[in-house]
């Protein structure tokens, strides 16, 4: 079945966005949680999503700015 170019490009775009989603990709690359206090510092468009991924995958209190 032939796919329309617009549909094909839309599928590629959605796959690229999903592959770059920190909530689904970052957990595999996090080190074990450190003992004690954890402070997450970030900047940029993805900082909030990356901090959320850390918070979701590490037990204990996480602080950040």
Angstrom distance (rounded) from CA 7 to CA 2: 10
Contacts of residue 57, defined as CB under 8 A and 6 or more positions apart, other chains included, come to 26, 27, 30
pTM score of the predicted model: 0.64
Per-residue pLDDT of the chain (65 residues; tens, 9 = 90+): 677 999 999 999 999 999 888 888 888 888 888 887 778 888 998 888 888 888 888 877 777 76
């Amino acid at each position: 079945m032939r796919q329309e170019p617009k549909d094909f490009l839309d599928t590629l775009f959605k796959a690229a966005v999903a592959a770059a989603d920190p909530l689904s990709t970052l957990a595999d690359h996090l080190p074990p949680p450190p003992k004690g206090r954890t402070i997450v510092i970030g900047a940029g468009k993805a900082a909030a999503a990356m901090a959320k991924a850390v918070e979701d995958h590490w037990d204990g209190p996480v602080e950040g700015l």
